[in-house]
């Protein structure tokens, strides 16, 4: 361009302007509104401390939900409580027409006894599956809830200028409802959380102890695996341990089944295809010299692909049938699906990367790898184009244990980063208008 205009003084000016324009991140080119994160931060950090010190297990998030609803009402949002038991839906209607953008935050804690030295650490105890246990936000959902409340606090005073609607979904039971109960994202959807109005895009984040505060982890396409829980009961015939010929030994049969189930990963799946079959519980027997009547196996199945998921389930059944028939034993198989794979919509993801780089700086956005963990945000991302990113939570000079451990700790400083990141995603998606193509979670790899 400079060359085309020859030697007049104006091209130099235009060239400088162009260079400045190109150096400016996409999201900043259209002078985005100023986000007043610093104003809301002290109050939101205080809320985070309250949530952290008062964790509640899945489907028991009563006080958490009450606090969330109170905060949203104080900002003037439309609030519905009791969605999927303790879920809260808040709607912020902008002053101008435009798309609907949803932010999802999970609220539940885990049966873990916290071991951090945080001044607001949890000392709570509760009952879980008949046992007294410690309860803690060992998965950082207190941070996620606080961030979403912070986003509402930032956006509510801007409502007149917002081109569209923001829907906040505060979800119970992300870790899975207690046995025998329904709950989580799928129940929220069943109860209409994605209707009236239906979002055009949905965002969520997760605390990530492998990233420092200030960084966010970006990924497009498959990001978390599907997760299914299976319980296999192998039944034989009980006998004295000294007279095994009188038994049908479920211990030996279970041992064979455990090894045979590992051939699903090694011999049935394409080696390039992600997939895991892990058994975490082997339970049975009362005394060393009694061959018991039955053995119970429980495990988890992880994949990125619906057809692989179906074929693993089928192979488990076939293998149990074969092994138990050979032994003269019997089996029962229970199968509890938890979540499909979580897939970030490719078009929304690349848009989100530009927005995050504009909001936090390009150095702050790092590409991360998919993992075999699971996340029930998958249900939402199946319904509408979704983007799920990871929030760095480890402050300089500190360390954190892994998620779900007593030593997991998320630094308060991550909250401001999360609010800025999430508010920017919401505002820029509203300003962009128009829906994303949304090839949906399951459709990416048919």
Closest contact distance (angstroms) between CB of 175 and Zn ion is 5
Output 139 or 316, the one with its CB closest to Zn ion.
139
Output 187 or 339, the one with its CB closest to Zn ion.
339
3-state secondary structure of 189: helix
Output 48 or 432, the one with its CB closest to Zn ion.
48
Tokens of 294: 């039955």
Closest contact distance (angstroms) between CB of 419 and Zn ion is 18
Tokens of 433: 């208008």
Rounded-to-integer distance, Cα 7 and Cα 357, Å: 36
Rounded-to-integer distance, Cα 96 and Cα 163, Å: 4
Output 67 or 139, the one with its CB closest to Zn ion.
139
Between strands 221-224 and 290-291, the pairing is unpaired
Closest contact distance (angstroms) between CB of 405 and Zn ion is 11
- Tell me the HSE value of 208 on the side-chain side, using a 13 A CA sphere: 25
In sequence order, the 6+-apart residues with CB closer than 8 A to the CB of 372 are 224, 225, 274, 276, 302
Output 79 or 410, the one with its CB closest to Zn ion.
410
Scanning the structure block, which residue is given the tokens 């101008």?
A: 96
Closest contact distance (angstroms) between CB of 427 and Zn ion is 25
Q: Please report which helix (H) or strand (E) contains residue 425, including its range.
A: helix 413-432
Site string for Zn ion, 105-144 (x = CB under 5 A): ----------------------------------x-----
Q: State the residue number with the nearest CB to Zn ion.
A: 139
Tokens of 327: 């032994």
Closest contact distance (angstroms) between CB of 324 and Zn ion is 34
CB 141 within 8 A of CB 105: yes
Output 57 or 189, the one with its CB closest to Zn ion.
57
CB 55 within 8 A of CB 109: yes
Closest contact distance (angstroms) between CB of 292 and Zn ion is 33
3-state secondary structure of 61: coil
Give the closest residue to 332 by CA, choosing from 256, 231, 250, 258: 231
Rounded-to-integer distance, Cα 207 and Cα 175, Å: 14
Between strands 216-218 and 365-367, the pairing is parallel
Count of residues interacting with Zn ion (CB under 5 A): 1
Tokens of 272: 């390039």
410 counts as binding Zn ion under rule CB under 5 A:
no
Output 176 or 199, the one with its CB closest to Zn ion.
176
Give CA angle at 273 (405, 257), nearest 5°: 70
| CA–centroid distance for 263 within its chain | 29
Output 331 or 388, the one with its CB closest to Zn ion.
388
Output 139 or 320, the one with its CB closest to Zn ion.
139
Closest contact distance (angstroms) between CB of 351 and Zn ion is 25
Helices (DSSP H) in 103-161: which residue ranges?
A: 141-155
Output 87 or 94, the one with its CB closest to Zn ion.
87
Closest contact distance (angstroms) between CB of 253 and Zn ion is 34
Closest contact distance (angstroms) between CB of 234 and Zn ion is 30
Rounded-to-integer distance, Cα 102 and Cα 91, Å: 9
Q: What is the binding site for Zn ion (CB under 5 A)?
A: 139
């Amino acid at each position: 361009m400079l060359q085309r205009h020859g030697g007049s003084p104006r091209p130099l000016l235009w060239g400088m302007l162009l260079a400045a324009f190109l150096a400016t991140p996409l999201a900043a080119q259209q002078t985005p509104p100023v986000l007043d994160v610093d104003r809301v931060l002290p109050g939101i950090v205080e809320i985070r401390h309250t949530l952290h010190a008062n964790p509640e297990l899945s489907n028991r998030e009563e006080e958490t939900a009450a606090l969330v609803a109170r905060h949203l009402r104080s900002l003037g949002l439309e609030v519905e409580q009791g969605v999927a038991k303790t879920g809260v839906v808040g709607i912020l209607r902008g002053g101008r027409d435009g798309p609907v953008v949803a932010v999802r935050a999970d609220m539940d804690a885990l049966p873990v006894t916290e071991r951090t030295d945080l001044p607001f650490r949890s000392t709570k105890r509760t009952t879980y599956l008949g046992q007294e246990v410690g309860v803690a936000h060992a998965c950082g959902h207190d941070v996620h809830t606080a961030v979403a409340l912070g986003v509402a606090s930032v956006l509510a005073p801007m409502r007149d200028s917002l081109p569209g609607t923001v829907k906040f979904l505060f979800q119970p039971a992300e870790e899975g409802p207690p046995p025998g109960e329904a709950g989580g994202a799928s129940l929220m959807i069943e109860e209409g959380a994605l209707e009236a109005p239906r979002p055009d895009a949905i965002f969520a984040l997760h605390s990530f102890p492998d990233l420092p505060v200030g960084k966010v982890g970006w990924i497009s396409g498959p990001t978390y695996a599907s997760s299914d829980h299976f319980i296999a009961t192998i039944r034989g015939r009980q006998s004295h341990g000294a007279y095994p010929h009188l038994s049908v030994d479920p211990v030996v049969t279970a041992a064979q089944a455990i090894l045979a189930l590992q051939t699903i990963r090694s011999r049935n799946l394409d080696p390039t295809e992600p997939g895991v079959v892990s058994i975490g519980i082997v339970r049975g027997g009362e005394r060393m010299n009694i061959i018991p009547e039955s053995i119970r196996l429980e495990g988890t199945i992880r994949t990125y692909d619906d057809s692989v998921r179906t074929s693993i389930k089928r192979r488990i059944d076939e293998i149990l049938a074969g092994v138990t028939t050979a032994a003269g034993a019997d089996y029962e198989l229970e199968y509890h699906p938890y979540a499909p794979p979580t897939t970030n919509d490719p078009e929304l993801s690349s848009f989100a990367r530009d927005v995050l780089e504009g909001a936090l700086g390009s150095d702050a956005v790092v590409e991360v790898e998919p993992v075999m963990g699971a996340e029930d945000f998958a249900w939402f991302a199946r319904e509408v184009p979704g983007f799920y990113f990871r929030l760095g939570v480890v402050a300089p000079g500190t360390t954190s244990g892994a998620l779900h451990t007593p030593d997991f700790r998320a630094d308060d400083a991550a909250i401001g980063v999360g609010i800025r990141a999430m508010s920017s995603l919401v505002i820029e998606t509203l300003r962009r208008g128009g829906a994303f193509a949304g090839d949906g979670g399951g459709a990416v790899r048919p």
